[in-house]
Amino acid sequence: MPPSMRALVAGEVGEPGDVLRLESRPVPTPEAGQALIRVRATPIHASDLHVLRGRYGFSPEFPVVGGHMECVGRVEALGPDTEGPAVGERVVVAAVPAVPGPPVAGTWQEYLVADTRRLLAVPDGLSDSSACQLAVNPLTALLLVTRELDVQPGEWLLQTAAGSTVGRLVIQLSRHLGIRTINVVRRRDAVEEIKALGGDEVICTEDEDLVRRVAEIAGPAGVRKAVDCVAGPVGAQVSQALAPGGEVVVYGALSTHRQTDPAALTIPLAARSVIYETKAVRGFWLNRWFGTAAPEEALRALSQVRDLVAEGVLSIPQGRPFPLDRFAEAVAVAEAPARGTKPLFVLDGD
């Protein structure tokens, strides 16, 4: 094993492209209960960039190695007296129940140590590109549809940013469960792709009125259930499109990510509609869910996701590979409009 490795480190809170540097660091040594993982692939999620900007739901101490959500790698060594997957086994490192704190410390590096309770075996045949995205987005899609909103077969589900990874997984899962989706995208170019994926209806905010189109599709009362990861004016329109007594679960705020004006960080709700039509707008955060769900429920949901992926019901979009040293380009691509597939750092792939 080499004594040193490369790690992508942010020295301080700031714009990822400005604060990230490639550094040489010693390869860490696993302690009891830990495994040393040689990272093969790790995504650049919006939330990873949000952490570096100091605007996520938790703040690590800086300097910090980037990448806080998930990765796939091989077990290189186990700590003393540690039971765990065999050396050489391919595993996902991700948030799992019963391990407090931020999901994963620093996946944007060649080696990391992780609590063995955070390791999940990778289903056979799953590419590194999909495996490194196995936990966060598929689990979020599953929980939003089946637990948070308990959407029933035949019901409408309205969702924003339908072309996102979560959005695509929501469409696939909904088809599997017989749920009908109304999918909001911001570009006309994306409409056909979403329909081809199985989205029942698509609304394009580039040239269509979200509230009016929802009423045309679901009936004048609106929809009873929605998920939103855009927030801002689009999130507000989703709440307007809800039927009386309807519910929207907000799980992201993509429209606010590069904004600094406090007015741009809100969802401007119509008070009358929320009060007199008793609509609910509430949040969902996977980290908090892990902190509050019973461990057996969390394990059940994780294994359900693994099964759905292994059976091909959920297909995780392949990412676009970048070597670590092209990090500036990779983080710029991550937030570029119409960028297509998600950028991943591939360090030791197939």
Ligand X SMILES: NC(=O)c1ccc[n+]([C@@H]2O[C@H](COP(=O)([O-])OP(=O)(O)OC[C@H]3O[C@@H](n4cnc5c(N)ncnc54)[C@H](OP(=O)(O)O)[C@@H]3O)[C@@H](O)[C@H]2O)c1
- For ligand X, the binding residues (CB under 6 A) are 45-47, 136-137, 140, 161, 163-166, 186-187, 190, 229-230, 251-252, 254-255, 284-286, 337-339, 342
Q: Which of 122, 142, 40 is nearest to 310 (CA)?
A: 122
- Which of 111, 290 has the CB closer to ligand X? 290
- Which of 116, 160 has the CB closer to ligand X? 160
- Which of 45, 90 has the CB closer to ligand X? 45
Q: Considering the complex, what minimum distance in angstroms separates the CB of residue 27 from ligand X?
A: 29
Q: Considering the complex, what minimum distance in angstroms separates the CB of residue 43 from ligand X?
A: 8
Cα–Cα dist 182/149, whole Å:
15
Q: Considering the complex, what minimum distance in angstroms separates the CB of residue 193 from ligand X?
A: 9
Q: Considering the complex, what minimum distance in angstroms separates the CB of residue 137 from ligand X?
A: 5
Secondary structure (H, E, C), 236-266: HHHHHCEEEEEEEEECCCHHHCCCCCHHHHC
- Which of 229, 243 has the CB closer to ligand X? 229
Residue nearest to ligand X (CB): 252
- Which of 9, 169 has the CB closer to ligand X? 169
Q: Considering the complex, what minimum distance in angstroms separates the CB of residue 190 from ligand X?
A: 6
Q: Which of 89, 81, 2 is nearest to 37 (CA)?
A: 89
Whole-angstrom CA distances from 338 to 124, 189, 285, 333, 335 are: 32, 9, 25, 10, 9
- Which of 288, 300 has the CB closer to ligand X? 288
Prior bond of 63 cis (ω within 30°): yes
**How many angstroms from the chain centroid is the CA of residue 305?**
14
Q: Considering the complex, what minimum distance in angstroms separates the CB of residue 314 from ligand X?
A: 13
Q: Considering the complex, what minimum distance in angstroms separates the CB of residue 34 from ligand X?
A: 25
Q: Which of 174, 198, 202 is nearest to 186 (CA)?
A: 202
Q: Considering the complex, what minimum distance in angstroms separates the CB of residue 110 from ligand X?
A: 24
Contacts of 294 (CB under 8 A, 6+ apart): none
Q: Are 113 and 125 in contact (CB under 8 A)?
A: no
- Which of 39, 136 has the CB closer to ligand X? 136
Q: Which of 304, 297, 285, 307 is nearest to 98 (CA)?
A: 297
Q: Are 136 and 102 in contact (CB under 8 A)?
A: no
Q: Which two tokens stand for residue 283?
A: 């949040």
Dihedral of CA atoms 75, 126, 168, 263 in degrees, nearest 10, equals 10
Q: Considering the complex, what minimum distance in angstroms separates the CB of residue 349 from ligand X?
A: 20
- Which of 118, 186 has the CB closer to ligand X? 186
- Which of 94, 114 has the CB closer to ligand X? 94
**What number of residues does the chain have?**
350
Q: Which DSSP string do the residues of 125-187 spell out, in sequence order?
A: T--HHHHTTSSHHHHHHHIIIIIIS-PPTT-EEEESSTTSHHHHHHHHHHHHHT-EEEEEES-
